[in-house]
Amino acid sequence: MSDRGDMRVPVWAGDAALAGPSDVVQPVSPAGATRHGAGCTCCRPRAPLAAALARLFVARARGDLPFFARVIVPCAPAQDADLAATLAADPVTAARFRFAGRLPAAQSGSVVSPSPSARSI
């Protein structure tokens, strides 16, 4: 059996304007995602981002959305830890998606415009 690496969809934090043709933009905020204290792991409500990513994954699997190579969550750098924690805290989300980091900002003096084929959900 060959090792094909991590097959989960990478989730990047950053500016939606950096989205390319094989990206999808998920505008749900990761803020406060891990602060829900009531309920057990299996029955507590899912974080809004986890629920949105689940819908996104199912839509891609059913063919309702074209293939996408990564998900971009527009958020401030201060929210990166919340985003990573949300992805890790939900077992189903963690099996499908992985936090890949923050997209590098556009270089000074360059203009980045959204790709016409980048999708926003």
pLDDT at 41: 53
- Greatest Cα pair distance in the chain: 50
pTM, to two decimals: 0.66
| Cα–Cα nearest to 83, from 96, 69, 72 | 72
Cβ atoms 32, 94 nearer than 8 A: no
- Domain limits, the chain: 7-27+45-103
99: which strand partners? 11
Helix 48-62 / helix 80-89 crossing angle, nearest 10 deg: 60
Question: Pairing mode, if any, of strands 23-25 and 119-120?
Answer: parallel
pLDDT at 111: 35
- pLDDT tens, position by position, for the chain (121 residues)? 445 667 788 888 888 887 888 888 877 666 554 444 555 555 566 788 888 899 999 998 899 988 888 999 998 899 999 999 988 988 889 999 999 999 887 633 333 333 444 455 4
